[in-house]
Amino acid sequence: MEQVVIIGTGCAGLTAAIYTARANLSPLVLTGAMPGGLLTTTSTVENFPGFPEGIDGFQLMQNLQKQAERFGARVQFGHLDSVDFSGHPLKLVVDGETIISKTVIVATGSKPRALGLPSEEALEKHGVTYCATCDGALPQFRNQPLVVVGGGDSALEEATYLTRFASEVHLIHRRDSFRASVIMQERALKNPKIKPVWNSVVTEVLGVAEKKVSGVRLKNIETGMTSTLSCAGVFVAIGHVPNTAVFNGQLETDAGGYIQLREGTRTNVRGVFAAGDVADSVYRQAITAAGTGCAAAIEAERFLGEETENY
């Protein structure tokens, strides 16, 4: 029987792996389909503490994995197919094989929702991004016109944040009013750099041949008219989907599908903890994921200490 199984190898999972490995718990760490997690999809990470010149996202995640393995973490390619958390020990089915464990740390992250355009995919890392806090300050976006797609709180927050760097921010929304809270709307709409484009959708991101975003093609869904808009970056802010489908019916989630935490990183199931973006609809940063990964590891370790007599 395992002491700790960690699901996911993003910042949350690998930080939990470092802590539980150093506590001699020899964690089994499952990579899922994306070893290293979301940060491997970005180039330079400029806001992770400790790297004054920034660090390549892939390199950072390799470092975290090596650090965890140095203390005895067992990182294994594997996808969690289903769980049975109805009793103890906890049961997990990984690529058809059943694993039993005393504790589980869920660190499966979330996926940013994409527009679903081939040109968007082609220009990811070349001006198309899903995180203003992460990428807004990059030199390529400074003093340039930028586009934000979306109409909810995050879109308006991202647009407002980007006005610190951009010459102007075009906020493309498919309806004629925002879904965001009134306070966010007031703040965004009184900012002279934010220019809403109503009733419109992006049908193409321009610049594929040059491998650099140069604009977007828009369609007004009321009139059917198309137009183009020059910009150096497209920030897609139409929501995130937490990777929690595999826990349906077993772990409590909120209306958006994020795992609901009780005290600290505890879930509704004894011995199951959650960390990182899978339980965080607010911050979604590498350092916050690492922080909660640390917290989940400490809580799993304490749980094992307190509950040893039960096994």
Ligand X SMILES: Cc1cc2nc3c(=O)[nH]c(=O)nc-3n(C[C@H](O)[C@H](O)[C@H](O)COP(=O)(O)OP(=O)(O)OC[C@H]3O[C@@H](n4cnc5c(N)ncnc54)[C@H](O)[C@@H]3O)c2cc1C
Q: What is the dihedral of CA 270, 274, 279, 282, to 10 degrees?
A: 120
Query: Is 10 a binder of ligand X (CB under 6 A)?
Result: yes
Q: 11 catalytic, yes or no?
A: no
Given the rule CB under 6 A, which of 11-19, 144-152, 175-183, 300-308 is the region that contacts ligand X?
A: 11-19
Given the rule CB under 6 A, which of 9-17, 64-72, 191-199, 203-211 is the region that contacts ligand X?
A: 9-17
Return the CA Rg of the chain.
21
Q: Which is nearer to ligand X, 175 or 211 (CB)?
A: 211
Name which position in 73, 80, 216, 295 contacts ligand X (CB under 6 A).
80
Name which position in 25, 34, 123, 166 contacts ligand X (CB under 6 A).
34
Among the listed residues 56, 84, 95, 131, the single catalytic one is 131
- Rounded to whole angstroms, the Cα distance separating 2 from 108 reads 19
Given the rule CB under 6 A, which of 151-159, 188-196, 225-233, 282-290 is the region that contacts ligand X?
A: 282-290
Residue 40, C-beta contacts closer than 8 angstroms, at least 6 positions apart: 34, 57, 58, 61
- Rounded to whole angstroms, the Cα distance separating 160 from 188 reads 6
Query: Is 295 a binder of ligand X (CB under 6 A)?
Result: no
The full length of the chain comes to: 311
- Rounded to whole angstroms, the Cα distance separating 296 from 20 reads 9
Q: Which of 240, 195, 9, 208 is nearest to 125 (CA)?
A: 208
Given the rule CB under 6 A, which of 4-12, 63-71, 176-184, 222-230 is the region that contacts ligand X?
A: 4-12
Q: Which is nearer to ligand X, 97 or 306 (CB)?
A: 97
Query: Do the beta carbons of residue 241 and residue 251 sit within 8 Å?
Result: no
- Rounded to whole angstroms, the Cα distance separating 71 from 20 reads 9
Number of residues that bind ligand X (CB under 6 A): 41
Query: Is 7 a binder of ligand X (CB under 6 A)?
Result: yes
Distances (CA, A) of 151 to 146, 157, 206, 240: 15, 10, 22, 14
Return residues touching ligand X (CB under 6 A).
7-13, 30-35, 37-39, 41-42, 45, 47-48, 79-80, 107-109, 112, 129-131, 134, 243, 246, 276-278, 284-287, 289
| Active site amino acids | 131, 134-135
